[in-house]
Amino acid sequence: MHRSQVEVVRRPLRHVVPAQRTSAPMTSSPARTILSEQLFRGTHEIGIEHQGALYRLKITRQGKLILNK
């Protein structure tokens, strides 16, 4: 029996340029976009009132967002 051979091709990584972020909404998206830095203004938690209920939006230690009621 012959084992099938796998050829490994190594290519150099391309330089990736991060997308520029703006506070203006993107034209292709119907949703309004707000940078989290503008919402939190240096804090790690904000309150959002929605239909009479208060929600808390937090930035975790890992930099993710969590919404709690």
What is the residue range of 61's domain? 43-68
For the chain, the farthest-separated pair of C-alpha atoms sits apart, in whole angstroms, at: 72
Residue 23, domain member (yes or no) = no
pLDDT score for 37: 93
pLDDT score for 48: 95
Residue 9, domain member (yes or no) = no
The count of C-alpha atoms lying within 13 angstroms of the C-alpha of 22, restricted to the half-sphere facing its C-beta, is 4
Q: Using one digit for the tens of pLDDT, what is the confidence trace for 31-52?
A: 889 999 999 999 999 999 999 9
Residue 30, domain member (yes or no) = no
Residue 32 gets which letter from DSSP? Answer: -
Residue 17, domain member (yes or no) = no
